[in-house]
């Protein structure tokens, strides 16, 4: 998105559903189409490329049977999720904030490749979120045979409209991701499959809901409704990098990453429970980065488990150098969290605890 449009200027298109548009009791939902496989079609070169999704109702007749009031807003230029950038996250947050009072929930149609990053980013930007923001998409385009787009979108809409049966309050007041049959917290999602429909996994945290014959919510895993009003943040620090360790990594590689001009923070993907080489040159590189004001966040390469700095000798020295332990956070949530926290432009005494503590359910207390 080179020149973001004014969110208020984008037209909202009502979709025909079973609900009477005049029925104020029917949940009102906004579908935000950003692009991705769900809305792709073959271009002249025979390649899948994003298309305009003007008539979603024609592609998905199932929508006509939903007892919901649904409107669609589409980005003027839908994008492949591989091209998503922090500016797009800021725009999506602004768009949701613009329409927050008018809708009961939001569904974001998004490409799968970076959906976990986007869901995590929106989790941080939408502070005190009291309504569902459900990311979903598809592995197969909506117009193709055996597409998973219809099932994913219809279920995402049902989740966004769900109310608690006892309290009649919002069932899932947080940013989340629904795919195939599982609802995942936005800061816990990781894409693990490119060829199967079960593309995402909830890392180090139980799913918020599962979709079978019905929707089975895990209410104890879902965040509580906030007492404060929504706050939409509008700044991300983009001077962030990821350094994945591997046996044989050299000083030249480490220094090249940590020495990037303008670098403000780096996510270190370490071994096991947060272990890293103890070689003098490696420690000197980290020490030099911290001396230049670069924040370092320790995240495990393991899919499950957590960072425990100091459990082994190979991680004990990291804390002494000022490396912040990321506990059981995912890389996707760590990268976007670092962009968010550093974007707040706080002093060191406030930045360090924010990097290490749970903000949006990304860390298990």
Question: So which residues are the catalytic ones?
Answer: 37
In sequence order, the 6+-apart residues with CB closer than 8 A to the CB of 213 are none
Rounded Cα distance, 245 and 234, in Å: 32
d(CA 264, CA 342) in angstroms, rounded, equals: 8
The DSSP code sequence of 253-287 is HHHHHHT-TT--EEEEEEBTTTB----HHHHHHHH
| Cβ(109)–Cβ(32) below 8 Å | yes
Phi, psi of 101 (to 5 degrees): -75, -20
Tokens of 313: 């000798």
Q: Are 39 and 51 spatial neighbours (Cβ–Cβ below 8 Å)?
A: yes
Distance CA(72)–CA(15), nearest Å, equals 7
Farthest CA pair distance, the chain: 70
Helix axes 115-125, 331-343, angle to 10 degrees: 40
CA distances from 229 to 71, 85, 87, 95, 268 (A): 24, 27, 24, 17, 34
Place of tokens 């906030």: 226
d(CA 176, CA 188): 9
Question: Of 221, 192, 178, 218, which Cα lies nearest the Cα of 332?
Answer: 192
Cβ–Cβ under 8 Å, residues 66 and 157: yes
Helix (H, G, I), strand (E, B) or coil at 289: helix
DSSP E strand boundaries for 3-55: 13-15, 28-33, 40-42, 48-50
**Tokens (6 digits) for 200:** 């995402």
Among 144, 147, 177, which residue's Cα sits nearest to residue 159? 177
């Amino acid at each position: 998105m080179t020149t973001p449009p004014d969110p208020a200027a984008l037209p909202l298109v009502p979709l025909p559903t079973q609900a009477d548009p005049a029925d104020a009791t029917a949940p009102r939902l906004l579908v935000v189409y950003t692009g991705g496989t769900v809305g792709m079609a073959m271009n002249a070169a025979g390649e899948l490329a994003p298309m305009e999704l003007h008539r979603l109702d024609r592609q998905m007749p199932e929508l006509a049977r939903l007892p919901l009031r649904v409107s669609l807003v589409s980005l003027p230029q839908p994008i492949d999720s591989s091209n998503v950038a922090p500016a797009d996250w800021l725009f999506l947050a602004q768009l949701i904030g613009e329409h927050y009072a008018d809708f009961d929930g939001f569904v974001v149609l998004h490409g799968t490749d970076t959906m976990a990053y986007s869901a995590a980013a929106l989790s941080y930007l939408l502070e005190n979120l009291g309504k569902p923001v459900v990311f979903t998409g598809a592995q197969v385009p909506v117009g193709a045979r055996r597409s998973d787009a219809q099932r994913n979108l219809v279920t995402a809409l049902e989740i966004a409209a769900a109310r608690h049966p006892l309290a009649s309050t919002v069932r899932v007041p947080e940013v989340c991701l629904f795919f195939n049959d599982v609802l995942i917290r936005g800061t816990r999602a990781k894409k693990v499959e490119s060829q199967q429909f079960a593309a995402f996994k909830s890392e180090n945290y139980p799913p918020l809901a599962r979709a079978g014959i019905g929707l089975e919510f895990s209410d104890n895993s879902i965040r509580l409704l906030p007492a404060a009003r929504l706050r939409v943040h509008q700044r991300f620090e983009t001077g962030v990098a990821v350094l994945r360790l591997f046996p044989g990594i050299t000083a030249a590689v480490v220094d090249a990453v940590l020495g990037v001009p303008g670098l403000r923070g780096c996510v270190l993907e370490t071994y096991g429970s947060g272990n890293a080489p103890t070689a003098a040159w490696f420690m000197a590189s980290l020490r030099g980065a911290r001396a230049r004001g670069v924040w370092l966040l320790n995240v495990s390469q393991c899919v499950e488990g957590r960072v425990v700095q100091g459990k082994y000798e190979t991680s004990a020295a990291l804390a002494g150098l000022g490396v912040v332990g990321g506990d059981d956070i995912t890389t996707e949530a760590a990268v976007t969290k670092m962009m968010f926290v550093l974007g707040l432009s706080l002093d060191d005494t406030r930045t360090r605890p924010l990097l290490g503590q749970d903000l949006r359910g990304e860390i298990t207390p």
